[in-house]
Amino acid sequence: MAEYRMCTRCVMDTTDPEIVFDEDGVCNHCHTYVRMVRDYVVDGVEGQHRLEQLVEKIRKDGQGKKYDCVIGVSGGVDSTYVAYVVNKFGLRPLAIHLDNGWDSELAVKNIEKTLKRLDIDLYTEVLDWEEFKDLQVAFLKASTPDSEIISDHAINAILGAMAEKIGVNYIIIGTNVRTESHLPRAWSQGHSDWKYISELHRRFGTRPLKTFPRYDFFTFYRRMFTQKRIEILNYIGYSKKEALKVLQDELGWQYYGGKHYESIYTRFYQGYILPEKFGFDKRRSHLSSLICSGEMTRRQALEELNKPTYSPYMQEEDREYVAKKLGFTDEQFTAIMNAPKRSYWDYPSYGQFMRKPLVKKLVPIVKKVVGWFK
C-alpha cells in the first residue's frame, strides 16, 4: 500500500489513487489549476470586454425569439449566481431545473424566490420517479463512486434538448475554474457516457428507462458543433464568498450548509456514502480550489476537514430516509455499503473506446475542428 501523502499547497491527498506530487510536494491538481486559470479565466477589464462582446452576440442571435439562452438552476450558489449575472447583463434566459425527487425544501424556495425577483421564466423537468429510483439503485449495486453522474447526465441532456427546441445556441453554465478545478477522475467520472450508464442499468436495473433524459456519443459531439456552452463565471473574477453575500443581500437566498447540499441525496451521498465506503471526502476538492483561488488558507481548510461532513444526527436521519425511499431495508443498505468497491473502468463504456490508440490520435484533431466552429 502506498504511503499516505497530502499536497503541500492544497489539501488533496492519496485518497485520490491517481494523484502525483512534484519535488516540492505540490500535487498535479494544483498544477492543473494554474494551467486552467491561465487558459480559461479572463479577469478585470479584459474579462469585462470579452463578456460584453459575448453578451452582444447572444443578444443579436436571439433577436425575434422569446429567449436568447438557457441556464440550469439547482438552487445552489453557482447556478443562482449565473441567473443573477445574465439578468444583470440584460439577457433573456429560460431557466431549467431538474426535479429528480430529492430537492430539499430550501432549494425549491431558493429557486422560486430568486427567479421571481429576477423575472426569469422557469421550466422544470420532473423525472419519472420509479425509473430514476431504479437507475440510482442500479448504480449503488454496481458499487462505483459515480452515483451522482446520472443527475448530471439528465440535466445536460435537458439543457441541450431544450436549447434545440426553442432555437437558441447558447447554454450558460455555472461550472468555473476557480472553485471546481481539483476534481479527481477516480472519485467520479462518466457524466457524458451513456454507454456506461445504460450498461450499469442493464446489469443491475429491473425496469426499462422509457423517459429518462439522455444523449448518446453522436448527440454529444453534434451538440459540441451546434451549441456553445459558456462558463460565464470565468469572466467576472468569481468569488464564492462575494457571490454568497450578493445572493443573500439582494435576492433573499438562503445557505443550505455545503456544496451541492441543496439535494438531500447529494448531501447524503457526498457526506456519508463516499467517505464511509470509498474514503473519498469531496470537501477536499472543493476546499483545495478555494485555497488556490485565495478564498481560504490551507490551515482553515484543514480545520474544516476536522469537522464532520455534516451533522452525525442528520446523517442518521438521512440514511434512514434514503434507504426507505430507495426501497432498501437497513440490512440491504448495509450490504451495499460493505460490497467490494468497483470503478468506472470495470464496466463497458465510451471511455474504453476512447482509449484505443487510433481514437486517442483523432481526439485532438476533433477538438481543434470544434474550436474553429465555435
One-character DSSP codes across 276-289: III---THHHHHHH
Instruction: List alpha helices for the chain, DSSP H.
Output: 28-40, 44-61, 77-88, 105-118, 129-142, 149-166, 194-204, 217-226, 240-251, 264-268, 283-292, 298-305, 312-326, 330-338, 350-354, 357-373
To which residue does cell 445552489 refer?
76
Better-predicted residue by pLDDT, 180 or 66? 66
pLDDT(189) > 60: yes
pLDDT tens for 122-173 read 999 999 999 999 999 999 999 999 999 999 999 999 999 999 999 999 999 9
CA-wise closest residue to 63 among 159, 158, 167: 167
User: Which residues are within 8 A (CB) of 200 and not within 5 positions of it... i.e. 6 or more apart?
Assistant: 138, 139, 142, 144, 347
Strand partners, 304: none
To which residue does cell 483545495 refer?
288
To which residue does cell 471526502 refer?
281
Least confident range of 14-23, 150-159, 290-299, 363-372: 363-372
pLDDT at 373 (0 to 100): 46
- pTM for the whole structure: 0.91
What is the three-class DSSP state of 98?
strand
pLDDT at 104 (0 to 100): 82
Share of residues in the chain with pLDDT > 70 (%): 92
In the predicted model, what is the mean pLDDT of residues 358-369?
60
Q: So where are the chain's domains? A: 28-373
Q: Which three cell numbers stand for residue 321?
A: 430516509
pLDDT(327) > 70: yes
Residue 361 banded pLDDT, cuts 50, 70, 90: low
In the predicted model, what is the mean pLDDT of residues 34-62?
93
pLDDT(351) > 90: no
In the predicted model, what is the mean pLDDT of residues 42-67?
94
